[in-house]
Amino acid sequence: MSKKPAAIRGTNDFIAEDAARFDQVVETFRRVARLYNFNSVHVPVFEHTGVFARSLGETTDVVAKEMYTFEDRSGDSVTLRPEFTAGIARAYISNGWQQHGQMKLAAWGPCFRYERPQKGRFRQFHQLDAEMLAAPDPMADVEILAFGQQLLEELGIAKSVTLRLNTLGDPESREAWQTALLSHFRAHEPELSADSRDRLARNPLRILDSKDAADRAIVADAPVIDDYLSSEAGAWFAAVQEGLSAAGIAFERDARLVRGLDYYRHTAFEFVTDALGAQGTVLGGGRYDGLIEAMGGPPTPAIGWAAGIERLALLLPGAAGGKVDVAFIPMDREAELVGVRLLGALRSGGGISAETFARGNMKKRMQRADASGARLALILGEDERARRRVQVKDLAAGDQTALAYGDIGFIGGYMAELRLREMEGEGAEMPPFSAWLPATMLTTR
RNA sequence: GCGACUGUAGCUCAGCUGGUUAGAGCGCUGGUUUGUGGUACCAGAGGUCGCGGGUUCGAACCCCGUCAGUCGCCCCA
């Protein structure tokens, strides 16, 4: 045990169902992204440390204690990305992407944060990310939220997730609100929890979502952003809500919702669930109009969100593992060689997935073929070779028929029809292979 | 960074108040009349009981430390 190499804390190795769930999340994301015309962007996994330190806010926990930062061989300080947005903003500036006008970008991959692992939280985790750059219209907020909503729907988890929405206003509104909040909390400072007294100095907004009971009482009658919104900021928020209603997207106004990272303005949102314990946020984001300019680029209004792939995968009802269409069972070495050619034809010519089961006795081979989920088993021995045929056994129906080498293409046809029926939910009505095969093809053993 | 709980075969776990060769199920390997599964049976391989130290005549069971996992705080996807 002690001699086994250990994975780094907070990293995961996973296969089979877990991997299938992960893949399903990513594949669904990519498919839905296409529907909304979000195109792929690929950015580095690491950046100069300043890219994250400046954009996220020096006092945020992510920057203060959670970054994977190290010196490379030249002595430069580099950091593994804790999120996507800063790197994409940097790429936008570095490459002059303002030439493209509005951009809708989608990315996914690993991110890194040095934290204590917990349910749905890891040191290497994976995010889906969507960004709309140079998008100065409340309808962009609506569109990117619709993307997120549809993603959750197509993953089949929309029922267990609710959208919470708030606005942080424009810089003037936010500033005025924050000042009011600060004086409110200062007035109650002795009653605040130790954590919140600490937050008072670092990030007073965070007191709003404290879990401490005493804090919540003080938060209950804290100033609300609505009273400090400029007319422009109020109009923006109204437009977003109107658009969401038109799109049929349900949301809850949460006046205490704030975002951890400094760059957020206007719309802020989270899709939350209570099925994941303390890590309820499954997809979150908001508008960050000032970020790109603050990083040295042109003024660029933008909005984006990120979703935790592991968290989404945990909510997935279930995922089909790696099934194979056809199992090939050779009786001897010679049959294996013939099989290489037959399976090659099925795979490249017919798009059929196939696996060979050549170990153990016949019983074991059949057991494994069955466990593989294959619908058909192809059995090839000396007798069959002499007549240039294979035995085709329908593993669901249990019956078996012989098929000439030259007619092997029918297997592709059968599997194609089976797949079609399964897609339409009537896979059970698929006749056995022997009944499906035209009568003239039926061969006696 | 703080707290609680847990750590026995590949996996899920038993192991009574510390006492001779540490068990089960699943999985894996082989077999049960020559080439047939999903529903049988037999056999086998596999564990320095996370690691280190201590208490004891004796520890998987008690104590300390350490590492890891889980959950919570913090923070966030």
What is the complex's ipTM, to 2 decimals?
Answer: 0.82
| Distance between the alpha carbon (CA) of A327 and the C1' atom of B11, Å | 26
Q: Which two tokens stand for residue A111?
A: 């991110």
Question: Which residues of chain A have a pLDDT value below 70?
Answer: 1-4, 58-59, 62, 64, 318-321, 427, 442-445
What is the rounded CA–CA span in Å between residue A439 and residue A431?
14
- C-alpha dist (Å) from residue A60 to A52, A283, A432, A443: 11, 19, 62, 73
| Distance between the alpha carbon (CA) of A326 and the C1' atom of B24, Å | 36
CB A325 within 8 A of CB A390: no
- From the Cβ of A6, is strand B under 7 Å away? yes
Query: Smallest Cα–C1' distance to nucleotide B67: which residue has it?
Result: A2
Q: Judge residue A95's burial from the number of C-beta atoms within 10 Å of its C-beta, 0-12 exposed, 13-18 middle, 19 or more buried.
A: exposed
Q: Which residue, chain included where needed, has tokens 């061969």?
A: A443
DSSP category for residue A348: I
What is the rounded CA–CA span in Å between residue A73 and residue A443?
70
Q: Using the CA of A120, which nucleotide's C1' is the nearest one?
A: B77
| Distance between the alpha carbon (CA) of A251 and the C1' atom of B1, Å | 36
- From the Cβ of A282, is strand B under 7 Å away? yes
pLDDT of residue A425: 75
Query: Smallest Cα–C1' distance to nucleotide B49: which residue has it?
Result: A1
Q: Which residue, chain included where needed, has tokens 């494994």?
A: A368
What sign has the CA pseudo-torsion A173, A174, A179, A180? positive
pLDDT of residue A323: 79
Could you give the domains of chain A?
16-170+230-315 (3.30.930.10), 326-441 (3.40.50.800)
Find, among A280, A297, A281, A277, the residue nearest to A289 by Cα.
Answer: A297
| Distance between the alpha carbon (CA) of A324 and the C1' atom of B3, Å | 48
What is the rounded CA–CA span in Å between residue A259 and residue A205?
8
Q: Which residue, chain included where needed, has tokens 């509005």?
A: A102
How many other C-beta atoms are found inside a 10 Å radius of the C-beta of residue A105?
23
- From the Cβ of A154, is strand B under 7 Å away? no
CB within 8 A of A333, min separation 6: which ones?
Answer: none
According to DSSP, the β-strands at A376-380 and A389-394 are: antiparallel
| Distance between the alpha carbon (CA) of A1 and the C1' atom of B15, Å | 21
- From the Cβ of A66, is strand B under 7 Å away? yes
CB A113 within 8 A of CB A82: yes
Q: Which residue, chain included where needed, has tokens 């984006």?
A: A304
Distance of CA A321 to the CA centre of its chain: 18
Q: Which two tokens stand for residue A169?
A: 């206003």
Beta sheet of A68-71, edge-to-edge order = A46-48, A77-80, A68-71
| Distance between the alpha carbon (CA) of A373 and the C1' atom of B25, Å | 24
- C-alpha dist (Å) from residue A110 to A11, A14, A122, A316: 11, 14, 11, 20
| Distance between the alpha carbon (CA) of A68 and the C1' atom of B73, Å | 22
How many other C-beta atoms are found inside a 10 Å radius of the C-beta of residue A148?
25
Strand B: positions under 7 A of a protein C-beta atom: 1-3, 9-10, 28-32, 34-38, 40, 47-48, 50-52, 67-77
Q: Could you say which residues 7-46 of protein chain A have a Cβ atom less than 7 A away from any atom in strand B?
A: 7, 9-10
CB A206 within 8 A of CB A199: yes
- Grouping H, G, I as helix, E, B as strand and the rest as coil, residue A355 is strand
CB A103 within 8 A of CB A302: no
Q: Using the CA of A282, which nucleotide's C1' is the nearest one?
A: B77
- C-alpha dist (Å) from residue A432 to A56, A334, A408, A424: 60, 29, 16, 18
Q: Could you say which residues 293-312 of protein chain A have a Cβ atom less than 7 A away from any atom in strand B?
A: 306-308, 310-311
Distance of CA A425 to the CA centre of its chain: 26
| Distance between the alpha carbon (CA) of A257 and the C1' atom of B27, Å | 48
pLDDT digits (tens, 9 = 90+) for A20-34: 889 999 999 999 999
- C-alpha dist (Å) from residue A301 to A41, A288, A382: 18, 7, 72
Q: Could you say which residues 208-227 of protein chain A have a Cβ atom less than 7 A away from any atom in strand B?
A: 210-212
What is the rounded CA–CA span in Å between residue A396 and residue A369?
12
Amino acid symbol at A314: L
Helix-strand-coil percent breakdown of chain A, rounded to 5?
Answer: 45, 20, 35
pLDDT of residue A372: 86
What is the rounded CA–CA span in Å between residue A344 and residue A351?
10
Orientation angle between helical segments A85-94 and A49-56, nearest 10 degrees:
110
What is the rounded CA–CA span in Å between residue A135 and residue A237?
15
- From the Cβ of A430, is strand B under 7 Å away? no
pLDDT of residue A253: 92
- C-alpha dist (Å) from residue A100 to A86, A96, A278: 19, 9, 40
What is the rounded CA–CA span in Å between residue A240 and residue A254?
14
Q: What are phi and psi of A382, to 5 degrees?
A: -65, -45
Q: Using the CA of A65, which nucleotide's C1' is the nearest one?
A: B1
Q: Could you say which residues 388-407 of protein chain A have a Cβ atom less than 7 A away from any atom in strand B?
A: 391, 393, 395-398, 400
Query: Smallest Cα–C1' distance to nucleotide B9: which residue has it?
Result: A1
| Distance between the alpha carbon (CA) of A142 and the C1' atom of B72, Å | 35
Which residues sit opposite A390 in a β-bridge?
A403
pLDDT digits (tens, 9 = 90+) for A282-337: 999 999 998 999 899 999 999 999 999 999 998 887 666 677 899 999 988 888 88
Q: Using the CA of A394, which nucleotide's C1' is the nearest one?
A: B37
